[in-house]
């Protein structure tokens, strides 16, 4: 997996624009060409992953939009505006950005809101830049009919949206904002609890940074977003329109393999994300049955009162999707997450017939790979997580049942 450091032409139907905001700061953004600002009711902002390929994400989502319109999906605004911000590397993307465009010194710390380091006189959080883009689409004078803004992230971009939805305190008043978080390799935990408690697999005592920011709230120091409690951030996250969208076949070992991430549910994204669903439901004191989801959270607190028992987060699982943006967002569940306001298609759930196996029964010891940004893969000789075997068996059985019909 290689990050993109060379110029690419804007995809057909888009332009690479400079979005200007505070103090003449500019953010490069792939933007729907000739957008009908007066008629549009829906803006979609997609955050690229660590490959820094916003053009590919714009192309994928625009293709899904056109396909859905051709099929007569009435929930898709024909004047949908799709944007894909670019978080350039100051070092590796030289020649691609202008003197006024924001860039970031670290390859992937933009995923957790880190401020830019270019231009030299500006230090602007990536969270702030995206907030400005959301505020732009909520301007009545510019977009008089705008009703919905959807912030989408996949992989590294999903890590961004997970943290953004938790720590950015405000939303525009007169438009609805939805957050779609697809296949992140880690999430921001609000408490020290973790789903894996077997010290022979992940020893939390030795993994001293397991609850530090990006993985938890410890040492979170990002003005103006830091300084609040885990309860505060959980209330912000849980009471928003958040959809956690996951490919059930996202089992490759090419995500974050540090002990901080492994403690969140094993070596694969899908295990971590299913454990995350169990975690936030138990933490929120919901009535959702999460007994078949993975993870040991025996001592987790009940923060139902913290959120006034208002839990708006949803889980949507695409049974036949891997870690692929088109498979995930082009699925019925992905389309529903992007375009349906109600009656969401939430897809797969575990059953007694296909229970999820323990996450830590055959895994290698933690800490052998250091890659918090999901850019390196483990050796193909490593043992498969039991989740992978479970998924192969489940899908094989499903295929046989279909053939028998």
- Is 400 inside a domain boundary? yes
- Is 7 inside a domain boundary? no
- Is 26 inside a domain boundary? yes
Query: How confident is the model at residue 4, as a pLDDT?
Result: 58
Over 50: is that where the pLDDT of 66 sits? Answer: yes
Tell me: the pLDDT tens digits for 358-384? 655 333 333 322 333 333 223 222 333
Over 60: is that where the pLDDT of 1 sits? Answer: no
- Is 291 inside a domain boundary? yes
Domain count, the chain: 1
Mean of pLDDT over the chain: 89
Over 80: is that where the pLDDT of 68 sits? Answer: yes
**In this structure, what CATH number is given to the domain that contains residue 379?**
3.40.50.1820
Tell me: the pLDDT tens digits for 223-243? 999 999 999 999 999 999 999
On whether the CB atoms of residues 248 and 320 are closer than 8 A, the answer is yes
Structure tokens at 264: 């969140």
pTM summary value:
0.89
- Is 2 inside a domain boundary? no
Over 50: is that where the pLDDT of 397 sits? Answer: no
- Is 216 inside a domain boundary? yes
Query: How confident is the model at residue 6, as a pLDDT?
Result: 59
Which structural domain range is residue 121 located in? Answer: 14-404
Over 70: is that where the pLDDT of 399 sits? Answer: no
Q: Distance (Å, rounded) from C-alpha 71 to C-alpha 168?
A: 36
Give 21's pLDDT tier (boundaries 50, 70, 90).
very high
Query: How confident is the model at residue 312, as a pLDDT?
Result: 99
Query: How confident is the model at residue 7, as a pLDDT?
Result: 59
Beta partners for 82?
A: 44
The pair phi, psi for residue 317, each rounded to 5°, is: -125, 125
- Is 301 inside a domain boundary? yes
Average pLDDT over residues 99-126: 94
- Is 24 inside a domain boundary? yes
Lowest-confidence region among 4-8, 118-122, 141-145, 392-396: 392-396
Decide which of 12 and 356 is more confident.
12
């Amino acid at each position: 997996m290689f990050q993109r450091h060379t110029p690419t032409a804007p995809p057909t139907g888009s332009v690479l624009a400079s979005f200007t905001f505070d103090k003449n700061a500019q953010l490069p953004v792939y933007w729907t060409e000739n957008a009908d600002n007066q008629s549009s009711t829906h803006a979609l902002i997609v955050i690229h992953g660590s490959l820094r390929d916003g053009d590919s994400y714009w192309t994928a989502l625009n293709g899904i939009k056109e396909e859905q319109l051709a099929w007569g999906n009435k929930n898709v605004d024909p004047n949908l505006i799709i944007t894909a911000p670019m978080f350039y590397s100051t070092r590796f993307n030289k020649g691609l950005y202008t003197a006024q465009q924001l860039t970031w010194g670290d390859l992937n710390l933009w995923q957790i809101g880190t401020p830019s380091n270019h231009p030299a006189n500006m230090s602007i959080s990536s969270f702030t830049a995206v907030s400005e883009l959301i505020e732009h689409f909520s301007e009545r004078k510019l977009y008089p009919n705008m009703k919905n803004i959807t912030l989408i992230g996949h992989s590294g971009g999903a890590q961004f949206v997970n943290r953004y939805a938790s720590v950015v305190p405000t939303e525009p008043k007169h438009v609805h904002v939805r957050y779609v978080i697809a296949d992140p390799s880690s999430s921001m935990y609000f408490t020290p609890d973790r789903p894996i408690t077997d010290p022979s697999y992940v020893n939390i005592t030795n993994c001293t940074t397991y609850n530090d920011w990006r993985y938890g709230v410890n040492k979170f120091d990002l003005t103006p977003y830091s300084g609040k409690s885990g309860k505060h951030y959980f209330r912000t996250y849980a009471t928003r329109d958040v959809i956690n969208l996951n490919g059930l076949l996202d089992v490759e070992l090419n995500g974050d393999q540090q002990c901080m991430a492994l403690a969140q549910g094993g070596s694969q994204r899908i295990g971590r994300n299913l454990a995350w669903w169990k975690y936030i439901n138990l933490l929120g004191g919901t009535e959702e049955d999460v007994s078949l989801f993975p993870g040991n959270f025996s001592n987790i607190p009940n923060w139902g009162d913290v959120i006034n028992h208002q839990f708006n987060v949803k889980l949507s699982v695409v049974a036949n999707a891997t870690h692929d943006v088109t498979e995930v967002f082009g699925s019925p569940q992905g389309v529903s997450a992007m375009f349906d306001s109600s009656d969401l298609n939430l897809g797969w759930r575990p059953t007694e017939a296909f229970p999820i196996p323990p996450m830590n029964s055959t895994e290698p010891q933690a800490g052998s790979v250091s890659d918090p940004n999901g850019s390196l893969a483990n050796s193909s000789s490593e043992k498969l997580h039991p989740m992978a075997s479970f998924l192969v068996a489940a899908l094989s059985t499903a295929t046989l049942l279909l053939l028998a019909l």
